[in-house]
Amino acid sequence: MPILQVENIYKEFGKLEVLKGISFSLDKGKTLAIIGSSGSGKTTLLRCLNLLERPDQGIICVNHEIIFDAEDKAVQREAQIRKNRLNFGLVFQSFNLFAQYTVLKNITLASELLAMGEKNRGKSSAVHQRIKEEAYELLAQMGLSDKADAYPHMLSGGQQQRVAIARALALKPQILCFDEPTSALDPELTGEVLRVVRELADKKTTMLIVTHEMAFARDVADHVIFMDEGLIVEEGTPAQVITSPREERTRQFLSRFSNEP
């Protein structure tokens, strides 16, 4: 059953048409990899799903609830957008941790702020405790139990990215999105990040991953979408799209990776 349905998303920046009618769906517990050359609109698509950009046309549904409809102003109110954004967790290419806060606080901050806005303030110390415990669990899952009190600058890029993944998971999103999570990392640090993403896939976390790691996409993704110039050119299983692409454009794109093991 699809947890995410995207229908006919268009987005332009001035005269530049970046997304030209993107439709796909993602089933609960599955991993979708989006591949495509630089400039094909992958980041813009992720930003539209996370409502960091407003699509010019199209509909986005999560759990069969419309969270965005370009034709319906009611779902575009700022408070509604903020609430709907919580359906998604986002891990960026460049980590984007808060440099002034410890690892623990990076993970707990958003949950703490949300809890403060809720009505159960009377129970705040219990809530506070629960948020902290969950953060420690996530740190353990990321192999970073000893880094709770460290600051981001004290960590390697791979460790910072794992903190960013823990931070995204802390809000228990329905769908976890990654935008080239390893492309800012040295090759020797890429593996440790891909390993935790693979573990999340094994635990049936619903994920949408924009990546240039073809071997990883082939191994971990249930479904692959190849985008070019704002359109989906080809989609299917990794075996179809990555191993035996039907479209010439997909073949050309993949030939650039042919030296990979």
Ligand X SMILES: Nc1ncnc2c1ncn2[C@@H]1O[C@H](COP(=O)(O)OP(=O)(O)O)[C@@H](O)[C@H]1O
Report in angstroms how near the CB of residue 254 gets to ligand X at its nearest: 16
Q: Which tokens is 111 given?
A: 């949950």
Q: Which residue is nearest to Mg ion (CB)?
A: 43
Q: Which is nearer to ligand X, 31 or 40 (CB)?
A: 40
- Choice between 135 and 164, CB closer to Mg ion: 164
40/205 with CB nearer ligand X: 40
245 binds, among ligand X, Mg ion, none (CB under 5 to 8 A by kind): none
Other residues' Cβ atoms within 10 Å of the Cβ of residue 25: 15
DSSP state of 49: H
Task: For the CB of residue 240, give the shortest distance to ligand X in the complex, in Å.
Answer: 21
Which H or E run includes 68?
A: strand 65-69
Q: Residues 41 to 60: which contact Mg ion by CB under 5 A? A: 43
Q: Choose from Mg ion, ligand X, none: what does 16 bind? Cβ within 5-8 Å by kind.
A: ligand X
With CB cut-offs between 5 and 8 Å by kind, which of ligand X, Mg ion, none does residue 100 bind?
A: none
Minimum Å gap between C-beta 70 and ligand X is 17
Tokens of 46: 């992720």
19 vs 104, beta carbon nearer ligand X = 19
Among residues 9, 70, 31, the alpha carbon closest in space to that of 216 is found at 31
* Of residues 24 and 139, the one with the C-beta less far from Mg ion: 24
List all residues 6 or more positions away from 217 whose beta carbon is below 8 Å from its beta carbon.
33, 35, 209, 211, 224, 238, 242
- Is the CB of residue 124 less than 8 Å from the CB of residue 191? no
b/e sequence 99-130, b meaning 16+ C-beta within 10 Å: eeebbbbbbbbbbbeebeeeeeeeeeeebeee
Residues that bind ligand X (CB under 6 A): 13, 16, 18, 36, 38-44
Residue 40 makes contact with Mg ion by CB under 5 A: no
Binding site for Mg ion (CB under 5 A): 43
